[in-house]
Amino acid sequence: MEAASPARLYAAAVGLLLVAVGVLGFFYGSDLGAPGKVEAALGVLRVNGWLNLLHFAIGLLGLACAGTASRRYALWTGALFTVLAVWGFALGPGDAILGFIPASGGDDTLHLVLGLLGLAAAAATPRIAASQGAFPLEGGRKAPRERSEAGAEAAGEGA
């Protein structure tokens, strides 16, 4: 389990939010066809089945990564949502990203906020190198490896 960090908080909170938005979105619009059938949700969002599935899947992934790979989740989710937001703003309301994800002011604003928060959480969370192990020493140094007796004998350092 990872220590508490901004990325871990982001993965858990945004994961929970996206699962909730994905499930609630299905009550408003569950059509998996082209975005021609898009429903208004919560007054500002335009949803269809594809966007609901995207939110739900990324939310579940966030909940799964919250204890193990939260920095990576925050970085990649932040990048994805930032790209979706910029793309959606460029298209304008009524169009669709990749032909099936609705673009609208509310959705794009939500994606931009979640994207920038994800990138900020990833940047604020220190990266622990895999070579440092679970318990690095102060200053990022690794603890020296102890050689086993079998390893010392194999190297010709036996008694």
Task: Provide the pairing of β-strand 96-97 with 39-41.
Answer: unpaired
What was the pLDDT predicted at 132? Answer: 43
For residue 45, which phi and psi values (nearest 5 degrees)? Answer: -95, 145
Q: What is the pLDDT of residues 102-151, one digit of tens each?
A: 888 788 999 999 999 999 999 999 887 433 445 454 555 555 555 555 55
* Domain positions in the chain: 6-124
What was the pLDDT predicted at 14? Answer: 96
Max CA distance (Å), the chain: 79
Whole-model pTM? 0.74
